[in-house]
Chain A
Amino acid sequence: MQARLLHFPSLLLSYIQKGCFMNGTIKTILILLFCFWAFMVPPVLVKAGVVISDETQQCLVCHAKHGLTKVFENNKSIEAYVDAGEFRASVHKELKCSECHTDFSGEKHPKRRFRNSEQYKIQAALACKRCHTNEQLKTKSIHAAVLDDEKGSHTCTNCHGSHSIKSVSKKTYKSEEQHCLKCHGQEFSVEFKNGEKLSLKVEMPMLQASVHKKLSCSDCHFGFSQAQHPQRNFRSRRDFFIAGSETCRRCHFDKYTKSMEGIHYAKLSQGNLDAPVCTDCHGSHTVVRFGSNRTLIAQRCGKCHPQTFDIYAKSAHGNALFDEHNQDVPVCIDCHTAHNIENPLSLDYREKIPDLCSNCHANKAIMGKYGLSTDVVKSYLSDFHGVTLSFYRKQREKSDKPSRLIAVCTDCHGTHSIISARNIAPALVKANLVKRCQVCHKDAAGNFPDTWLSHYEPTLTSAPLVFIISLIYKIFTPILAIGIILQIMLHIWRYAVNR
């Protein structure tokens, strides 16, 4: 092997010795070349003892050096450099240069013109097809997808490289990501059975910005690896995404099980393929942490619930969120939860509403900032509606089924449309309230809303009658009780003394 490898310098030497067709200058060049070979090339070529054809060696004389460039018509250029070491390690190491670069040989070196590097690459890659026929290539699914894609400008060398081409099974990359992005960094798409297409290009910057940046591709794309690339057929784009989101549960099992209790999953399992799966809200390669970005959460929900989103955006809560970037106000998931989303039209959910509101409205730390009363929930719960509701909820637990609807917070305040009552004329509030009261209390008249003391403890000014009555009893009841007890005790004492 060694002897054959060193064939090139001996050839040079014989040329130099013969000197038959040389003048002095050429001879000097040849001697210099020999010196270069003696000191530079052998460490590269001889290293593992790889056979390289004579022709290749001849070409490498020039092309193994940096500095040669090919200039295209658009004035861009590429280097006509071949890394001898990489070529030595490639699967094509035994091929002659002219077997791919067909127009070239030791004698011929035609000048050709290309518009740009793309055109050049496409032209050059045609050589591949001379050995690797389309039929042969299509036996691999990945090639089939690429070859059938008419729009994509896929060249073999984009994925496989040119002079450094390696056997796929033996090829190693520094990371799996590099391996996958070799192809998936390119623009190409897959076609589903129903004709829909999906770009399979993965945007690297997005991937780097995602919370999953430290994961490898196969951590999510289960079943795929540097060795395996199974072919999967999906009916539609949607099927593909639904199947793809199944991988999330492998790490986020808690969220997955929660979502199985949710209405989205229920809709999906009823056959509504539009029901969102993990990736619809979280994204796939672009998974970001919602964290403090509560605006983003509302917007994500708004993608599918635009009408509700619009109403919310105009409400007191939505206004504060979008205009003031207020982080105290509830976004969708604070009431609906993120994963185990209940059907908000169910009776169970309805009866939980006072709890949901009280999460914030009974919290002094939050309400204090806005000068809002924290008694709202307490005053609701201690009045007729609240008492009835709390009993209904407990009765339901005991499998009793009271079906009557009881007014909860949202019935008077609205749900997504909640607005502050501060800037509205009291008369208007009252007029609106009457209408709401009449939904249940059919014979309610204009005075009826006044029966409700508006979440405030009665005071001498707000509700004098109630205040005075309560005050009198607060004083009188203990006095009476103490008086009676004293009488009884005196009576017993006297009786005991008399005995």
Chain B
Amino acid sequence: MAHEKIRRFSNWRIVEHWMLLLTFGVLVITGLSQKFYTIDISQWIIFHLGGIDRARLIHRCTGVIFSLITVAHILAGITGIALKKWPPSMFINKEDISDLIHNIRYYLGMEKSPAVFGRYNYRQKFEYWGVLHSGVLMMFTGLILWFPALITRFLPGEVIPAAKALHTNQAFLMFLIIALWHIYNSIFSPEVFPLDTSIFTGCISRERMIHEHPVELESIEGGPRERVVHEYQEAGTGS
């Protein structure tokens, strides 16, 4: 039973993640090197991309792809949830906050065991919503910056520098969330090191499910909740 694999992500989700990974990577490289243009590495990147105009073109084209993915994701998500085909597992609820508090207490030694999570824990939800709302923001501010003359036909001129401030700051924030939080959680965290492969293979081991998503496992297996939680607590404190 220990090496049993459980299907966690559909193929579409795997493709979506890959596309997001690539476009985000390109956007970060071309974008941050424009934000921090005085740094040597930024200049090296821009020169090797073929100059500032080329770097901007790449950034914009990639931005379009990124936007398409984001829009498709949102539309699919809304449709899926509206048609009740998908459970609204990504929505933030009260439990997430209590889980966060519980976990901090656990880290500080004030609780015996960590919080138990469903399909997504609060860290994953935080990353998801962080990326999603940033993505939408980047989409709009990016478009404004792309067509400043057109935008100022309808909106006051100050919108352009404001969009620039939003775009550049939000990008940096998003980069921080991904670089620190997501990379830690999916690569460097002792629980998954060297890599959490579930988003690439679509599968996760039952053992990790017991550790990380016991509530979901319970609903998958349909057994009594106490059994899984017990199993989890035994495993969690043991190893």
Set A448, A480, A490: member contacting B177, Cβ < 8 A:
A480
Q: Provide the bound-state CA to CA distance between A52 and B148, in Å.
A: 104
Chain A residues with CB under 8 A of B161:
451-453, 458, 463, 466
Q: Can you sample 16 A-B contacts with CB below 8 Å? A: A388-B53, A390-B37, A391-B37, A395-B52, A443-B149, A448-B148, A448-B149, A450-B156, A451-B161, A466-B165, A469-B162, A469-B166, A473-B169, A477-B173, A487-B104, A497-B109
Q: Provide the bound-state CA to CA distance between A492 and B192, in Å.
A: 12
The reply to whether the CB of A215 lies closer than 8 angstroms to some CB of chain B is no
The reply to whether the CB of A289 lies closer than 8 angstroms to some CB of chain B is no
Q: Provide the bound-state CA to CA distance between A395 and B37, in Å.
A: 14
Q: By the criterion CB–CB under 8 Å, are A447 and B153 in contact?
A: yes
Q: Provide the bound-state CA to CA distance between A470 and B148, in Å.
A: 20
Distance from B49 Cβ to chain A, minimum over Cβ atoms (Å) = 11
Q: By the criterion CB–CB under 8 Å, are A494 and B107 in contact?
A: yes
The reply to whether the CB of B157 lies closer than 8 angstroms to some CB of chain A is yes
Distance from B5 Cβ to chain A, minimum over Cβ atoms (Å) = 24
The reply to whether the CB of B128 lies closer than 8 angstroms to some CB of chain A is no
The reply to whether the CB of B108 lies closer than 8 angstroms to some CB of chain A is yes
Q: By the criterion CB–CB under 8 Å, are A445 and B51 in contact?
A: no
Set B107, B149, B153, B170: member contacting A493, Cβ < 8 A:
B107
The reply to whether the CB of B27 lies closer than 8 angstroms to some CB of chain A is no
The reply to whether the CB of B150 lies closer than 8 angstroms to some CB of chain A is yes
The reply to whether the CB of A444 lies closer than 8 angstroms to some CB of chain B is yes
Q: Which residues A443-499 have CB closer than 8 A to chain B?
A: 443-445, 447-453, 458, 463, 465-466, 469-470, 473, 476-477, 480-481, 484-485, 487-488, 490-495, 497-498
Chain A residues with CB under 8 A of B181:
484, 487-488
Distance from A271 Cβ to chain B, minimum over Cβ atoms (Å) = 39
Query: Please, which residue of chain A has its CB at the minimum distance from the CB of B104?
Result: A490
Q: By the criterion CB–CB under 8 Å, are A466 and B46 in contact?
A: no
Query: Please, which residue of chain B has its CB at the minimum distance from the CB of A448?
Result: B152
Count contacts on A: residues with CB < 8 A to the other chain. 46
Query: Please, which residue of chain A has its CB at the minimum distance from the CB of B46?
Result: A391
Set A441, A476, A485: member contacting B180, Cβ < 8 A:
A485
What interface size band does chain B fall in? Answer: 35 or more
Chain A residues with CB under 8 A of B46:
391
Q: By the criterion CB–CB under 8 Å, are B108 and A490 in contact?
A: yes
Q: By the criterion CB–CB under 8 Å, are B162 and A395 in contact?
A: no
Query: Which of A392, A448, A451, A493 has most chain B Cβ within 10 Å?
Result: A451
The reply to whether the CB of B30 lies closer than 8 angstroms to some CB of chain A is no
Q: A444-B149, A448-B152, A480-B176 known; A392 and B52 CB under 8 Å? A: yes
A395-410 interface code vs B (CB 8 A; 1 in, 0 out): 1001010101000000
Chain A residues with CB under 8 A of B47:
394-395, 398
Residues of B bordering A, CB below 8 Å: 34, 37, 43, 46-47, 50-53, 104, 106-109, 123, 148-150, 152-153, 155-162, 165-166, 169-170, 172-173, 176-177, 180-181, 184, 189-191, 237
Chain A residues with CB under 8 A of B159:
451, 465
The reply to whether the CB of A387 lies closer than 8 angstroms to some CB of chain B is yes
Q: Provide the bound-state CA to CA distance between A450 and B47, in Å.
A: 31
Residues of A bordering B, CB below 8 Å: 387-388, 390-392, 394-395, 398, 400, 402, 404, 441-445, 447-453, 458, 463, 465-466, 469-470, 473, 476-477, 480-481, 484-485, 487-488, 490-495, 497-498
Q: Provide the bound-state CA to CA distance between A376 and B177, in Å.
A: 34
Q: Provide the bound-state CA to CA distance between A449 and B108, in Å.
A: 55
Q: By the criterion CB–CB under 8 Å, are B173 and A480 in contact?
A: yes
Q: By the criterion CB–CB under 8 Å, are B51 and A391 in contact?
A: yes
Q: Provide the bound-state CA to CA distance between A448 and B156, in Å.
A: 8
Q: A395-B47, A447-B155, A465-B158 known; A491 and B169 CB under 8 Å? A: no
Distance from A495 Cβ to chain B, minimum over Cβ atoms (Å) = 5
Set A394, A466, A484, A490: member contacting B176, Cβ < 8 A:
A484
Distance from A481 Cβ to chain B, minimum over Cβ atoms (Å) = 5
Distance from B175 Cβ to chain A, minimum over Cβ atoms (Å) = 10
Q: Provide the bound-state CA to CA distance between A108 and B180, in Å.
A: 125
Q: By the criterion CB–CB under 8 Å, are B157 and A473 in contact?
A: no
> Known pairs A487-B123, A490-B107, A497-B109. 17 more at Cβ < 8 A?
A400-B50, A443-B153, A444-B149, A445-B153, A451-B157, A463-B158, A465-B158, A466-B165, A469-B169, A473-B173, A477-B169, A480-B173, A480-B176, A481-B180, A487-B104, A492-B190, A494-B109
